[in-house]
Chain A
Amino acid sequence: MEIVVTLIVGLALLFSNIDPTGTAFWATMTATLFAATALNFFILDFLLIPLRDLAMAVTNAAGEKPTDPLANPNTPRYSKNGFKPLLQFIYEHAHDGMSAPDEKSENSENPQAKHLETALRETNTGFIVMDAHGKIQYANHAAPVKHDTNDTPQLELLFETDNTFANWLANCRETAVHSEQSWMRVPNRIVGDEERRIFNVTANYEKGSAAEVVIVAYDATNIFQPEDDELDFISFAAHELRGPITVIRGYLDVLEMELEDQLGPDQHELFKRLIVSANRLSGYINNILNTSKYDRRHLQVHLSEENLGNIYDTIKDDMQLRAQSQRRLLSVDLPLSLPTIAADRSSISEVLSNLIDNALKYSNDGGSVAVSAATEGSFVKVSVTDNGIGIPSSVIGNLFHKFYRSHRSRETVAGTGIGLYLCKAIVESHGGQIGVTSVEGQGSTFTFTMPIYASVKDKLQANDYTNAGLISSSEGWIKNHSKYIS
């Protein structure tokens, strides 16, 4: 630049008719060269270099890689030339812009993650995430998870045998893209274990997701435990009562056999009363035990091919004795020619004995009770009819509720109020239905249906001879079960 300036000055002097060989000309030219060189350095140092550095800084701020190294704004040059604040501003802005997402995550997402982490640690609701191989990838502190011998986390929940998480998941993998399922009242440990907790569980399935299964286990121990404790006590008390009642019934039987020829007619009658009362007591204990069992949702019953007449035979002597001792006439017509039914023998004998016992109790002195059965579609319908006091229509709707006893029956007839509740539970667990018709003052007819074995054989075989297939097809008892738990 300085050469150009010097040439211009030289030409200007020549055009001004100044002698190019004179001292003045060369002195002016030399002075001009020096001045131009000095100006060049000044412009380079104070203007061009800072402008270049600014351009690099802006390039960098725009996210491009600069061709030269970035200038240091703290060097004295930038303090002197006043570019320091400008460079700093660009650098700071570039830093803000480039790290904006990170800064945001530090300032807003990370605190959220921290809150989430704290919540997952503190909550008593379990969260479990599984991958596509069923491996647990995450489980929080409250999650019902145990570690096996290889220290691999495993789900620790005791599902009902016919409705397990594993079955649901296997089904999802075969047939679903996304699915959701809930289970109520699932314990992690067996009854009596100190660590036992009871959960309401919801699982979500999303095929192909990294978190294929997400399980939320809401700890409802405080809701269910008091009821469980109560059931434990009832069950325990009933077991304890079974011992003495075995001895009482057994020795009455032995004594009656051994003293048969030595007793007078009135003593025989006293024996009968003892036996009937002991049998009733035994029946009540069974009712209590079975109610606590059904209330625990032990719904699974194994059903087999049974003949109603054979089932009745197991309680026949007891029922006839009860009828005789109360001066009732009991007639039972359950012909072996009826189709066989799918039933749990002891459960159905309890239904029969509860219904017959009720009919005897609510009959009048000398009254009759008739038990009969007939085929109705794919069911066998059993009827127990009495000509007793009947049931007011206002209370019929409450009859099958737990502990319900009508005002009148409370005054006149002994009972616990769980017999009909249990009958309904048992009948519906077989896929049947129970009902009653009654006219006050004339008598009542209780009916219940049992599936004909041949009609459900395939379903039973498919479900390992449990009632699982029958309940789900009967719309019933599992869905409505909670309403019986009061």
Chain B
Amino acid sequence: MAIKSILVIEDDRFIGEMYVRSLKHEGYDVDWVVDGHDGLVAVTSKPYDLMMLDIMLPEMRGPEILKALRGGKVDKIPNTRIIVMTNFDQDDESRMAMQHDVDAYLIKAEITPRKLIEVIKGFDTPAPVGAQ
């Protein structure tokens, strides 16, 4: 399923605007919220193809949002892909636990907007061997 609509949950204004600008430039339909609580409300009230989730967020942190969405028996957003975007160096166990519930886990400083778009487009085609 091709990605069309994207929710960006990012509290850094410079970084948020950067993603929104480049993703819109690429033709995606993008919404942007700056705190975790608003992010959880947004993603459960409107169907998105993709959610970009920061870890260190005001009001509600990324892992809590993930738990609320996919921690129970029922996946509340089964049709939404999730990319965790962070500059926070989590310990290995926390990272592995999050990776289990998401489609990609990326370091923001490593992912320029063009690379991000490549990753998103990669969701449209089956992943090659060893790809994340």
Contact = CB atoms under 8 A, between A and B. Distances in A.
Interface string B102-132: 0000011110111000000000000011111
Q: How large is the interface on B (under 10, 10 to 19, 20 to 34, 35 or more residues)?
A: 20 to 34
B87 interface: yes
B11 to A, nearest CB: 11
Interface in A282-319: 282, 285-286, 289, 293, 298, 300-302, 304-307, 310-311
A411 interface: no
B92 A239 contact: no
A435 interface: no
Contacts of A235: 89
A243 B129 contact: no
A251 B91 CA distance: 29
Given A246-B87, A249-B109, A253-B114, A310 B128 contact: yes
Contacts of B108: 242, 246
A239 B107 CA distance: 11
Interface in B1-52: 12, 14-15, 18-19, 21-22, 25
B109 A257 contact: no
A281 to B, nearest CB: 10
A12 B95 CA distance: 124
A289 B109 CA distance: 12
A235 B91 CA distance: 13
A345 B132 contact: yes
Interface in A232-281: 235, 239, 242-243, 245-247, 249-254, 257-258
A246 B22 CA distance: 14
B15 A247 contact: yes
Given A310-B129, A310-B130, A246 B92 contact: no
Contact of A239 (B15, B19, B88): B88
A289 B113 contact: no
A134 B93 CA distance: 26
Interface residues of A, number: 34
A285 B87 CA distance: 11
A250 B113 contact: yes
B130 A161 contact: no
A246 B15 contact: yes
Nearest to B21: A254
Given A253-B114, A307-B130, A310-B128, A242 B18 contact: no
Contacts of A285: 109
A95 B9 CA distance: 87
A32 interface: no
Contact of B25 (A258, A282, A346): A258
Contacts of B25: 254, 257-258
A282 B110 contact: yes
A305 B110 CA distance: 22
B92 A257 contact: no
Contacts of A249: 109, 112
A135 to B, nearest CB: 28
Contacts of B132: 345
A445 interface: no
B69 to A, nearest CB: 24
Interface string B71-110: 0000000000000000111011100100000000001111
Given A246-B108, A305-B130, A345-B130, A254 B22 contact: yes
Nearest to A279: B112
B130 A243 contact: no
Nearest to A341: B130
A242 B55 CA distance: 14
A449 interface: no
A412 B87 CA distance: 32
A301 B108 CA distance: 21
10 contacts: A242-B108, A243-B109, A249-B112, A250-B18, A251-B18, A253-B114, A257-B113, A285-B109, A304-B130, A310-B129
Given A250-B113, A300-B92, A307-B130, 5 more contacts: A246-B87, A253-B114, A254-B113, A282-B109, A310-B130
Closest CB pairs A-B (n = 9) = A242-B87, A253-B112, A242-B109, A306-B130, A250-B18, A246-B108, A246-B109, A247-B14, A253-B113
